[in-house]
Structure 1
Amino acid sequence: MTKRKNFKLEMNMEKEIGQDTVLILPDYDEHGCLNSMIYHTGGKIHIDSKPFDLIDTNLRFRGSSMRGAVEGSAAILGKLNKNPIIIDRDKGIILLPSQSALLDGCVWLSLQHIMECYSLEGNRTKVALSNGCSIILDGSKKSIQRRMEKAYELQFKMEAQKRIFENGKRVMENAYHLEKQAGGVNYEHLAGE
């Protein structure tokens, strides 16, 4: 019998991925351990946690997980490599990866903070951010823009689903009355009520 890995939720304000989070970078310390650097609109914070684990902690704090976010994204967009994930639907926090989320070098960008992409030599892209800063990523402008389009598609489809469920509530024209007879297994409609 295998033991389950215990998950200990350690969340604090420093680790929060919020509306002011611009991007999350992998950051190696002097011992070669992978950590994270969270860039916010007003500065940056070093976190002693891998980006993947940091995002997973944020999702678990909100009642989900990285696995759930990835599977949910794939269910809506289809199975894709480098799918965007929703951190908080109500606040519009969607992150898109610069490469596979399983790779240690993955940079996570907040969709709402991407302003423009510019092609650079050597198959690299400069991404201008909402706070006036920028980051240069490996990969073509087209590939970054494709991931942005998928993130907008995910956002749109999630909002559409929300509207369908909210507007789908309707008042029944005919009231119903149900009763399960003694010894019966199913509920039945009562006549004349």
Structure 2
Amino acid sequence: MRKRKNFKLEMNMEKEIGQDTVLILPDYDENGCLNSVIYHTDGMIKVESKPFDLIDTNLRFRGSSMRGAVEGSAAILGKLNKNPIIIDRDKGIILLPSKSALLDGCVWLSLQHIMECISIDGCTTKVNLSNGSSIILDGSKKSIQRRMEKAYELQFKMEAQKRFFESARTLPETTYHLVKQAGHVNYEHKAAE
């Protein structure tokens, strides 16, 4: 069994993935260490963290993890390669990977900032982004659009689940009076007085 390294949550504003995050690029420094460049609608910032770890930190800060996000996505969409993941459901932040998330060269795109995909040739695609920027990615237009469709499906199904559970909660309020008697291990429901 693989040993898990100790995780220390180191979150700050520069590492935040928010609604203004357009994409996350892998970026190697002069020593060959993999870091990230986060592109926002109003600029970019370099972060000393691998894209995978950066996303995992953001998810953990929100009470989840990369593993949980990938498993949740697979549970909703079925087991897929290159699953989209939800960073923040309430804010509509969904990221989709350009390739397997485990590969160091993976670029992460924010679904809400993808405007158009244009095929350059059979194996490269230009993706136009909401702030007027663009990126050329390896992969056919069809494969990138298929990942986008899966991300929209994930978003739709999550919203449908949310509406279902919210509508199920519209039951009349019930009052609980719970008491644990001395010497007993369970709480008992007592009638309201």
Tell me the TM-score normalised to structure 1 length.
0.88
RMSD over equivalenced CA pairs, Å: 2.7
Q: Which runs of 5+ in 2 are unaligned?
A: none
Shift of 1:176: 11
Q: Quote the offset at 1:6 in angstroms.
A: 1.7
Name the SS of the counterpart of 1:32 in structure 2: coil
Task: Flag the 1:44–1:2 CA change in 2: closer, same or farther, 3 A.
Answer: closer
- Cα 1:176–1:103 shift into 2, 3 Å: closer
Q: Distance in 1 between matches of 2:166 and 2:5?
A: 38
- Correspondence 1:169 to 2:187: no
2:61 counterpart of 1:58: no
**What is the CA-CA distance between 1:118 and the residue it aligns to?**
0.2
SS in 1 for 2:143: helix
**Cα contact 2:121–2:140 (8 A) shared by 1:** no
Please name the residue that 2:90 is paired with.
Answer: 90
The equivalent of 1:153 in structure 2 is 153
Larger Rg: 1
Runs of 4+ in 1 over 3 A off after TM superposition: 1-4, 174-180, 185-190
Name the count of aligned residue pairs.
Answer: 190
1:12 to 1:177, Cα distance in 2 relative to 1, 3 A: closer
Percentage identity across paired residues of the two chains = 82
Residue equivalent to 2:49 = 49
**1: CA distance between counterparts of 2:84 and 2:69?**
9
TM superposition shift of 1:188: 9.2
TM-score, normalised relative to structure 2: 0.88
* Aligned-partner SS, 1:46: strand
Report if aligned partners of 2:178, 2:187 keep a CA contact under 8 Å in 1.
no
SS at match of 1:26: strand
Q: Deviation string for 1:118-159 (max 9, x for gaps)?
A: 001251000000000000000000000000000000000000
Indicate how the Cα distance of structure 1 residues 9 and 121 shifts in structure 2: closer, same or farther if over 3 A, else same: same
Unaligned runs of 5+ in 1: none
Deviation track 1:60-108 (CA, whole Å, cap 9, x = no partner) reads: 0000000000000000000000000000000000000000000000000
Amino acid at match of 1:74: A
State how far apart, in whole Å, the 2-side matches of 1:58 and 1:160 are: 24
Q: Distance in 1 between matches of 2:2 and 2:27?
A: 33
**SS of corresponding position for 2:162:** helix
